[in-house]
Structure 1
């Protein structure tokens, strides 16, 4: 008997390929997609994708969508409270496993597993340790189409934000950019492919810039960092 699971859904290529694997699996049945939306922005975190477009994906894929809203303070405490509430919701539906599209970030995986274990939930990672060049190649070869929706301005040129990713497109990335953007260099929005009953009609309206300030510890010193991200405003 297949186990009922949920999948963390950002709307991007890695989550989509993970879902592709799960739906072809003989072990699991996907009950719903789960997305955290900013209460203030009505968008998905670092992807900057509007709630309406995530809803359009769920409709096109024909899988229910569960949305939780992150309070405007965007603090880690608030995020963990949101995820705890969501985990309890899953357990009430007989779901004890959540899938994620992470590929190689050990700290992130450990964090997810530790937090979910606190409430008796397990995590699975269908793409774990797959070479990222192979992941993006397989994703595109399967026929999925995805647009670059957010990018680190220090790594990615503004003029390619909002465009559809192709193999040729990837050749133009700097060598220090992971092919899947696994280090946070860029994010994507999938609008068509084998799981979609119909393509999502998505158009670039504008590109916006946003600055983030944070601190890092390096060699015993605290350094203030200010980084810029580009966001595609899709309609």
Structure 2
């Protein structure tokens, strides 16, 4: 893994809290973020897992001041498409990548496998740290995020739209979910924080169910808050 001090890097970016905290830590190590990489579904309309629109991912990138590269893939060809993007990033001189995985070994093994194919060094700043401590660090650092996806069999829809704060974490745990949602219980959308030049001004819409998950539709307001 190694230290990122003084190195240019790209960051895998979902739009959620874990990828954001990993980016935050990498920058605090002295790394220089040059690109965000976000994967969307094969129709190119919504991001994988978090189901965020291109306008929201772009607004996050603009607020962070980091260019974003968006890829499209189905789950069947995800690895092949991801490898294509890694090849391009390496060709652009970005040989270090930051990922927000915490402790799911198959995820780490996959990251290491695909990075190795293009000589990229993967960095997992959150790896094997206590999950509740990580979400606490995210909150205490001043980041603002809300829950936009829940797994129906583990959480009810009342969690959608809730800000990630200590009362929400306690409610998640009381419902039997992991505080960090590392097992897929929920996904989040980061709205503001110390890396953001301005907050995203969002409006929420309908709740849509698909594949055992419930998704809160989100869109940007016509103007962002300063």
The yes-or-no answer on 1:55 pairing with 2:58 is: yes
1:233: how far off? 0.2
Coordinate RMSD, CA, aligned: 1.3
Q: Secondary structure of the equivalent of 1:115?
A: helix
How far apart, CA to CA, are the structure 2 residues paired with 1:90 and 1:135?
28
Query: What's 1:135 paired with?
Result: 134
Q: Work out which of the two has the higher radius of gyration on C-alpha atoms and give 1 or 2.
A: 1
Query: What's 1:18 paired with?
Result: 22
1:176: how far off? 3.5
How far apart, CA to CA, are the structure 2 residues paired with 1:43 and 1:29?
27
1:41: how far off? 5.3
Query: What's 2:206 paired with?
Result: 206
The yes-or-no answer on 1:44 pairing with 2:47 is: yes
1:52: how far off? 0.6
State the TM-score, normalizing by the size of structure 1.
Answer: 0.87
How far apart, CA to CA, are the structure 2 residues paired with 1:175 and 1:158?
12
Query: What's 1:181 paired with?
Result: 181
1:203: how far off? 1.6
State the TM-score, normalizing by the size of structure 2.
Answer: 0.91
Say whether the 8 Å CA contact 2:208–2:217 is kept in structure 1. yes
In the alignment, structure 2 segments of 5+ residues that lack a partner are 220-226
> More strand per residue: 1 or 2?
1
Describe the superposition over 1:201-220 as per-residue Cα deviations: whole angstroms up to 9, x where unpaired: 01211111012xxxxxxxxx
How many residues are matched?
214
In the alignment, structure 1 segments of 5+ residues that lack a partner are 212-227
Q: Secondary structure of the equivalent of 2:147?
A: strand
1:175: how far off? 5.5
